[in-house]
């Protein structure tokens, strides 16, 4: 059984991947079965989301039972999870009570986190030269200042055209070049990973 299951898993994964891939090249022949397989994958992914929520609850439930610091956070998480499930269960995902919980707790908390991130980034930029600066440190700091100054009109100064043009050049040439390099790398990596899975060399499903 230990030998049969890995082989079976590999066969299922390879055949499914090949069919879905062929669906891109031959939509007429493989579109139907591709849609079926994709539908199954979506259901499994949805179930995986529920499984993840269940696992999260179990982990924090064990933390609450165990002694040590951080139990309070686990308690807060479990209480919040239960309350949200109860409220959304009764009110619905877009009900008024659900939206109240969402707008009252989740949105302000996440926005506050980003606000703190802005303060931390400004503080880090101010202390960037606290240690012995290097050439890439100076380059990074200069780039940050130029992009900030050219992004929006400055207060009581207005828009500085040269800085805006320089910011545009930085965002269109160096930034886009780097982004395209990243995207090409991601694409090549995705292709390589897909080929490895299709030929059975890489088996993330086990075996």
Partner 1 sequence: MNEIICPLCGKPNPPDREICQFCDAPLKTTGFLASPDDQDIFGQFPPPSSQGGEPSDQSAQPESTSSLEQAIPDWLKQTEANFLEGDEKEPGDLTSDKVSEEIDALLKQPFTPAEGEQPVIDDEWLASLLAEAGVGELAQEFQPEQPVGELPEEGETAEIEQVGAEPEESEPPPQVEPEKPEWLTNLEAASTIKLEGGMQPSEVKHLGEKKTGLEEGETKALEPTEVPEWVGKSSFAESPPAIEQPETNESEPPLAPAEIPGWLEALRPVEEKAKPTGPMEDISAADIVTAGPLVGLRGVISAHPSAIQVRKPPTYSIKLRVTDEQRARVEMMQELLAEEQKPKPLPSKPIITYRHILRLVVAVLLILPIIWMIVFRSDKSSIPQSGNIPGVIDFTQQVQRLPAGAPVLLAFDYEPGFSGELNVAISALLTQLFGKNTYLTLVTTTPSGPALAESFMSNASAGGNVASAAYSNYTDLGYIPGGTMGLLGLASSPQSVLPYALDGKNVWAVAPLNTVTTIADFDAVIVITDDPDIARAWIEQVGQKLQGQDKPLLIVTSTQAEPLIRPYYEATPAQVQGMVAGLAGGLAYGRAVGSQPANRIGDALSIAVTVSVLIILAGSIISLALMLAATNKQKED
Nearer to partner 1 by C-beta: 42 or 76? 42
Q: Give the Cβ contact number of residue 60 at 10 Å.
A: 19
Closest CA to 20 of 30, 8, 9: 30
Report the residue number, 11 or 154, with the smaller CB distance to partner 1: 154
Q: How far is CA 69 from CA 72, 74, 94, 181, in A?
A: 8, 10, 36, 44
Q: Is 201 one of the binding residues for partner 1 (CB under 8 A)?
A: no
Residues 51-70 that bind partner 1 (CB under 8 A): none
Q: For the window 121-160, what string marks contact with partner 1 as x by the rule CB under 8 A?
A: -xx-xxxxxxxxx-------x--xx--xx-xxxxxxxxx-
33 binds partner 1 (CB under 8 A): no
> Which is closer to partner 1, CB of 6 or CB of 95?
95
Show the binding pattern over residues 76-115: x = contacts partner 1 (CB under 8 A), - = does not: ----------------xxx---xx--xx--xx--xx-xx-
Report whether 199 contacts 5 (CB < 8 A). no
Do 6 and 205 form a contact (C-beta atoms < 8 A)? no
CB of 5 to partner 1, least distance (A): 23
x/- site string to partner 1, residues 170 to 189, per CB under 8 A?
-xx--xx-xxx-xx--x---
Binding status of residue 162 toward partner 1 by CB under 8 A: no
> CB–CB of 203/13 below 8 Å?
yes
Judged by beta carbon, residue 5 or residue 107, the one nearer partner 1 is 107
Token pair in block for residue 142: 């200069």
Binding-site ranges for partner 1 (CB under 8 A): 23, 31, 34-35, 38-39, 41-43, 45-46, 49, 92-94, 98-99, 102-103, 106-107, 110-111, 113-114, 118-120, 122-123, 125-133, 141, 144-145, 148-149, 151-159, 164, 168, 171-172, 175-176, 178-180, 182-183, 186
């Amino acid at each position: 059984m230990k030998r049969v299951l890995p082989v079976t898993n590999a066969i299922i994964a390879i055949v499914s991947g090949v069919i879905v891939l062929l669906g891109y090249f031959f939509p007429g022949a493989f579109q139907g079965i591709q849609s079926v397989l994709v539908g199954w994958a979506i259901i499994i992914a949805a179930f995986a989301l529920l499984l993840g929520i269940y696992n999260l609850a179990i982990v924090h439930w064990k933390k609450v039972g165990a002694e040590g610091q951080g139990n309070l956070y686990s308690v807060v998480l479990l209480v919040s999870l239960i309350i949200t499930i109860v409220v959304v269960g009764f009110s619905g995902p877009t009900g008024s009570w659900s939206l109240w919980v969402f707008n009252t707790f989740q949105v302000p908390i996440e926005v506050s986190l980003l606000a703190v991130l802005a303060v931390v980034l400004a503080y880090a930029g101010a202390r960037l030269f606290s240690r012995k600066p290097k050439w890439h440190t100076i380059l990074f700091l200069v780039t940050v200042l130029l992009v900030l100054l050219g992004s929006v009109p400055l207060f009581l100064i207005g828009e500085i055209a040269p800085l805006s043009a320089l910011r545009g050049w930085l965002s269109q040439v160096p930034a886009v070049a780097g982004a395209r390099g990243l995207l090409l790398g991601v694409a090549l990596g995705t292709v390589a990973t897909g080929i490895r899975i299709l030929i059975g060399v890489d088996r993330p499903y086990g075996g």
